[in-house]
Structures are given as structure tokens and as C-alpha cells.
Amino acid sequence: MHPQLTITPQTALIDVPRSITLRGLAPGQSVTLQTRTVRGPQVEWTSEARFVADAAGTVDLTRDAPLSGSYSGVAAMGLVWSQSPVTAGASREPFAAQPSTALTTQVRAVLNDAEVLTGDFVQQLAAEGVTRREIRDDGLTATLFTPATPGPHPVVMVLNGSGGGVNEPRAALYASRGYAALAVGYFKCEGRSDFISDTPLEYFETALQWIHRELHPKDGFVALSGQSRGGELVLLLGSLFPDLVKAVIGYVPGAVVHSAQNACNPATGRDGPAWIFRGQPLVNIWDHNRTASWDPWDNGPEPRRHTAAILTALQDPEAIERARIRVERIDGPVLLLSASDDGSWPSSLYSQMVKDHLAACKHPFPVEHHDWEGGGHAILFPYVPTTQLVYAHPVSKRLSTSGGTPAINAQADEQSWAAVQTFLAHATAAHAARR
């Protein structure tokens, strides 16, 4: 039997793990598997790992750990999450130049006699029949992804973090799993400011009203999904607009209102407001805070951890209470996804603060908190590279670490997406039953 490289499924959604196997090798034969994917603005990401065939002459990545290479331990998709950019300092963006388009990964198996086997697999973000439409109504900068199945559909509004832009990849994947998804850009995108500073929350109220008016969500169900500053924002919007929001998903969220921080307009500074509501800036954790200091961030050891400065602000209980997001006003279930080694801000602590407060208030809906010990701030979804732990912030350009390790961050990516899908299934069913 000649050596064969098999990858199944060859084409599927990005959240589907692949089986990569080699057969027809000699027992104990060495083989090196290499991958190459073009991500971001035409940047190559690569990985490799060396394996030894078993007594039957096979290598199976769902079963076998590499002897050496980009990752260690048994991990069916280790060759994907352990990829790194070939060019130093290249974009850490793990998606394609057109962010909702498919990614093709080339796989090479180099045998110890220099024979090379090749194959590839395709990771789709949008399932067949999912449609994409840019929305510019009512002053919005957004992209709508609609499932291939007949509507009406439950709806998820997707918000990015302090990097700004429009989070099309997550919205495309939500639509592929049955939810109409509106990815809303609120800064650093067409027609919006380059900075998070002074963002009017009425903008999101307009987006929610547009969703209800134009999409007619199934059973009136609209969920919010946001990461980082977007995780802070979805809790905030759920508390301000409970009639328009029926579930909240916070990826590495904040429990308090923050200042503009690293995404600030230099003219108003990092201590200036991020959010404006009804013409007034919301009180943030840095306002009149007796213990807050940027020194651990400004002068801390490289790579710097933004969390170190945030923790100084959380030593003032009065400032916390003034800036606390009134999550008890949320009219629906809440899902919190965090990591204990979050270098950007203390998402584990923040999520526990939200959970504890909702428990104390006897919140009448389910509250889930999933926390990954040793994980970092960049919880995305399966299966994307997790190696770029140190990066320059997209707005401030300051170098920092998001924390965690590639292996644990990959685990968080996979398990968080499973938790989100289960949460939404339960939330939509419970909401329909209450109507």
C-alpha cells in the first residue's frame, strides 16, 4: 500500500474539527506534517510537527501526539491553532482579507525518504445559502448575515472590542448555525470615528430598533454578543434597553463602565469617556477614583499587562459602585466567558462580580459563567491560531500581552463556542415558552 494522506471532512464550517491521517507507512516511520494558510492581508501562517507511525503504519492526529514541533500533546486541530505568521510583526488577524470568506489550509506530509504527500482543507465561516448584506440604514455601519433556512429567525447582534471594526466572522458563523446576525461597527469603520471615545449609546438603540422593525425576530428574541469592550457594552446595553434585548453573551466582559483607555481619541485622553447616553458621559471606573493608577501599565515589565492598571482601580469600592453596570435590569439569561490569565483586564473577576450581583438580586433567568484557568483575553471560536499572545494594540499601537498559552486558549475557543450554542438554544426555547 502506498502512503496516503487523508483529511476529512475536506470542506466544512470552521467550527468542525478535521481528521488528518496517514496510512501505508512503514512501522516506526517518521513523517513531518506542515501547514500553510494565507490569513489577513495576504500573510502566510505556518506550522509543523513530527510524528512516528504506529505498528500498523498509521499516524492519526486525533490519537497521536507529535514528537516535536509547533504544539505538543494530542490535538486533532493542533496544526491549526499552533500556526504563526511567517513574517515577523505581521498582522495577527486570523481571518481572510475578506473576513467572512473561507480559509484554505494546505497540508504537506514529508516522509523520511523525502517523498511528499499533499492535501488541503477548507474552513467556511458562512454555510451554503447564508447571505451577506451591508446595512447603512438609519446611519448604521453594519453587516447582516441571514441563514439559508426560511425565517423568521432569532437574531444576534454582534459587537467587536477595542480594536473596532465590524465582526463579520462571528456573525457569519452565527448565521450558519441558524441565527440572523447583525454585526454592528461603532468605531474604526466606515462612517464612524476612528476612536471609541464619546460613542453615543443611542446608536445601538437605533440598531436594536432596526432589528425589531426590519427583521421581525422569531418570538421577538434578540441576543447581544460582544467581546472585550464589546463584552462590557452588551451588558450595558442589556441593562439600558431591556425591552429590546432578551439574552446577553459576554466574551471576556467588564463588570463596570470603563474610560476610553487604549482606543481613546488622543484629544480627550484615555481617562475620558467611552460612552455617552442622552447627552451625558457615563460615570466610569477612573472617575474620581482614589486608588487608580496607570503606572503598572506605563512602567510595568514587558510585555505589559493592561490588567495590572485596572486592578488598581478596583481597590476603590465607591468608584466600583458608581461605575457598576446595572446588570440586574437585564431581561433575560446571561452567559459570561472569561479566563484567569487575561492580560487585558480581569475578566474572571469581572464575570464573577456580575454573577454574584445577579445572584444577590435573585435574577429570574439563568446565569452561566465559564472560566478557563490559565487562559487569556483572546477567546474567539474554533479553530483559529492562538499563538499571537503579544501584540500592538490596533488603536494605541502599544505593545502588550493578552495572556494565556496557545493550548489553553485553543481549548477556550472550542469549549466557549459549544457553550454559546447550548446557551442560545435554551434561551430561545425558554423565551418562546414564556410568550
CATH code, domain with 231 = 3.40.50.1820
Domain boundary among 124, 143, 166: 124
Say if residue 114 is in the same domain as residue 144.
no
Domain boundary among 57, 92, 124: 124
Using alpha carbons, select from 122, 85, 86 the residue that is nearest to residue 103: 122
Using alpha carbons, select from 351, 236, 250 the residue that is nearest to residue 284: 236
Mean pLDDT of 210-237: 98
Structural element, H or E, at residue 33: strand 30-39
In this structure, are residues 256 and 263 in contact, taking their beta carbons and an 8 Å threshold? no
Structural element, H or E, at residue 141: strand 141-146
pLDDT, residue 89, reads: 66
In this structure, are residues 273 and 282 in contact, taking their beta carbons and an 8 Å threshold? yes
Lowest mean pLDDT among 94-98, 276-280, 335-339, 392-396: 392-396
Binned at pLDDT 50, 70 and 90, residue 90 comes out as low
Cell of 380: 474567539
Matching residue, cell 485596572: 310
Please, which residues bridge with residue 123 across strands? 12, 103
Say if residue 57 is in the same domain as residue 150.
no
In this structure, are residues 319 and 289 in contact, taking their beta carbons and an 8 Å threshold? yes
What separation, in Å, do the N-terminal and C-terminal C-alpha atoms of the chain show? 62
In this structure, are residues 434 and 227 in contact, taking their beta carbons and an 8 Å threshold? no
Model confidence at 161: pLDDT above 90: yes
Say if residue 116 is in the same domain as residue 161.
no
Pairing of strands 367-372, 222-227: unpaired
CATH number of the domain at 113, please. Answer: 2.60.40.2240
171-199 pLDDT, tens digit each? 999 999 999 999 999 999 999 999 999 99
Say if residue 219 is in the same domain as residue 102.
no
Say if residue 59 is in the same domain as residue 172.
no
Mean pLDDT of 219-232: 98
Say if residue 149 is in the same domain as residue 281.
yes
pLDDT, residue 303, reads: 87
379-424 pLDDT, tens digit each? 999 999 999 998 777 777 778 899 999 999 999 999 999 999 999 9
Q: How many domains are there within the chain?
A: 2
State the Cα–Cα distance between residues 223 and 170, nearest whole angstrom: 14
Model confidence at 253: pLDDT above 90: yes
Mean pLDDT of 275-304: 95
Say if residue 117 is in the same domain as residue 137.
no
- Mention every residue, 6+ apart, whose C-beta is less than 8 A from residue 95: 39, 40, 103, 125, 169, 384
Say if residue 332 is in the same domain as residue 233.
yes
Say if residue 136 is in the same domain as residue 54.
no
Range of the domain at 39: 4-124
Q: Is the peptide bond before 17 cis (omega within 30 degrees of 0)?
A: no
Say if residue 97 is in the same domain as residue 203.
no
Binned at pLDDT 50, 70 and 90, residue 82 comes out as very high
Please, which residues bridge with residue 276 across strands? 200, 281
Model confidence at 18: pLDDT above 70: yes
Mean pLDDT of 198-215: 98
Using alpha carbons, select from 237, 244, 147, 172 the residue that is nearest to residue 199: 237
pLDDT, residue 353, reads: 98
**Cβ neighbours of 43 (radius 10 Å):** 17
Model confidence at 31: pLDDT above 70: yes
State the Cα–Cα distance between residues 282 and 43, nearest whole angstrom: 40
Cell of 428: 430561545
Say if residue 140 is in the same domain as residue 284.
yes
Please, which residues bridge with residue 104 across strands? 122
Say if residue 110 is in the same domain as residue 178.
no
Mean pLDDT of 210-224: 98
In this structure, are residues 344 and 163 in contact, taking their beta carbons and an 8 Å threshold? no
- How many CA atoms lie less than 13 Å away from 150 in the CB half-sphere? 0
**Cβ neighbours of 52 (radius 10 Å):** 15
Using alpha carbons, select from 292, 235, 226 the residue that is nearest to residue 261: 292
Binned at pLDDT 50, 70 and 90, residue 200 comes out as very high
Binned at pLDDT 50, 70 and 90, residue 302 comes out as confident
The mean predicted confidence, pLDDT, of the chain is 95
DSSP state of 26: P
In this structure, are residues 162 and 270 in contact, taking their beta carbons and an 8 Å threshold? no
Binned at pLDDT 50, 70 and 90, residue 281 comes out as very high
Domain boundary among 108, 124, 140: 124
State the Cα–Cα distance between residues 374 and 386, nearest whole angstrom: 13
